Structure formats: structure tokens, C-alpha cells
A and B are shown apart, each in its own frame.
Chain A
């Protein structure tokens, strides 16, 4: 069972709600994934507020927890205000904190991130920081009050999969008690399995599912891959070795010459 800020969750797959071909396909993907948490955002509404209202209803009908994000914010102050507005709309203290530092890579501005995390944690928010795999930044985030960490494994939407396994492994070893969620960069189910085998607690996905030829089927595939990786981690895996080891016992083997 995964516990995030005191909430127990049966699914270790968190799903973004953007880039699906249609709202119906999004809903189908959420159901197929069995996900219990979806990420959402806030944007300027045109007069009348109808497009936001339709999306709001869709999310309500899905019956899942929402994790609002601060996507698109490039400063701590922007992110803090967006988080407050998200709390007003969605009625949750959960916030996926993004402070973007580089336009091309969408790499987090980790300095602004730590600053915003400290302010928000002080105001009762339960912060899910989108961060890099830098260990010292992770320590600062925990000191700032974050009880969950969400390192990228590659740039958002890149589908490259884990680029620095050693760093992810180090982070896992260094924070054995902090729930770690890989957020961003996953492209295919095997990538999710890899990070789950490392002992990560969950995976947050969006483009890899929404951009698939059949998003609902891909959501189901990811759910299985994540479960498989988690089960493998809990089961305890063999370490690789250089030499062969016969799997069939040699004792009692016939001698023909």
C-alpha cells in the first residue's frame, strides 16, 4: 500500500490528464489504469467559465483524487499564487509544485522550487515537488517540509526513460522512508518497470499514455508494468554476475565416457 501525506492508495500509477484525443478517451485511460490520483492544472478562463466547468465535471465524475500542478510557472512567487488558486478551486492541500527553469528542457529551477516549497509547506500545503535527481536539492526539499519527492528520470514528454540510474538508486538509498515518485521522462512500460524495480514507490505519467495509439490500452499496460516492477522489488532480485551458474543440478548427472 502506498501512503502519500497520510492517504493510502492502492494504485502506484498517477496519471496526467493532458493531451488525450478526447475527454472520453481520458476517462477510459483512467479506468483502465486503475489510477486513484490524476494531475490537473489551472488556466485563464474565457468569459463565462464554461470550458473549465466541463473539465471540472469530468474529473468529478471519475471519482479520483486530484493533484493540481503549477505547470508553466517560472518563479517561486508565480508558483505560490497558482498553488493558492488551485487550493481554492479543487479544495485540496495537495500541490504538484513545478517551477520551470529552462524553456528547452523544462528542467526545474531548483532554487525557486525549494523557496516555493518552504512557503507552501508553511501555509499548510502538502507539496509534491517536481525536481531533478540531485541529492542535495532533495535534502533541501525535505528540510523545507516536503514529505514526498518527485524526481524526473528524463525531460518532460521526452519518452527517453531513465537517463541516470545511479542517481535514482542513490536517491532511493538516501531517503528510505520518503515516498519517491518518478515524474517525467517515462516513454514506455519497461521504463516504468525499471524505476519500480529500483524501489521507487510510484510513477507519474502523462504523455506516454495520452500520446499512444490506444491510450486506454497503454494505460493498462503501464499499470501491469508498474505492478510487475514493484512485485520484483519486494521479491528481491538476483544481482548480475560475470560467470554462468548452471540452473540444472549437476549431482547425479549420467557419465557416458
Chain B
């Protein structure tokens, strides 16, 4: 399926959010995820089924003022 991950379009066979994170080698307790503008809690990623053209944001801590 086609997903838009952090603004980049890519193809993946992953069907859930946690599968996608694994496939893209994202790991770490400090990540936050959203799909189509809605927060997906880390505990819900395994059950969150993805659809074609879903927009996924994967954020992590960064310096800030």
C-alpha cells in the first residue's frame, strides 16, 4: 500500500502502524505517532490498521525554545 510518512510517499506491505514502524526501523519509547491528523497512542499502534494513502506523522524529541 502507499503511505505518506512524514511527508514522504512510500510503498509498504505493513498493515498496522506498529508493523510500519518496524519495517521502517523506527524504534524507541520517545516516538509519538499520528495518522491522518489524529494521535495514535503507543499502546494502540499494534491494533491500528492502516489504509491506502494514510498520512502518518512520526515525531521525536527535539531541542526547542
A binds B: yes
Counting residue pairs across A and B whose Cβ atoms lie within 8 Å, the total is: 112
Contact call A68/B26, Cβ cutoff below 8 A: no
What's the Cα separation between A186 and B46 when bound, in Å? Answer: 46
Contact call B59/A42, Cβ cutoff below 8 A: yes
Contact call A84/B60, Cβ cutoff below 8 A: no
Q: What are the residues of chain A within 8 A of B28 when measuring CB–CB? A: 49-50, 52-53, 56
Chain A contact residue count (CB 8 A cutoff): 39
Q: What are the residues of chain A within 8 A of B25 when measuring CB–CB? A: 47-48
Tell which of A45, A55, A71 has the most Cβ of chain B within 10 Å. A45
Q: What are the residues of chain A within 8 A of B1 when measuring CB–CB? A: none
Say yes or no for A39: interface residue by CB 8 A criterion. Answer: yes
Known: A81-B37, A89-B30. A45 touches B6 (CB 8 A): yes
Q: What 1/0 flags go to B27-56 for Cβ under 8 Å of A? A: 110111110011101100000000000000
Say yes or no for A43: interface residue by CB 8 A criterion. Answer: yes
What's the Cα separation between A206 and B34 when bound, in Å? Answer: 29
Contact call B62/A43, Cβ cutoff below 8 A: yes
Known: A49-B30, A85-B39. A42 touches B60 (CB 8 A): yes
Known: A47-B25, A81-B37. A41 touches B64 (CB 8 A): yes
14 contacts between A and B (CB under 8 A): A16-B64, A18-B63, A26-B63, A40-B61, A42-B32, A42-B61, A43-B59, A47-B24, A49-B30, A53-B28, A55-B60, A88-B32, A88-B42, A89-B61
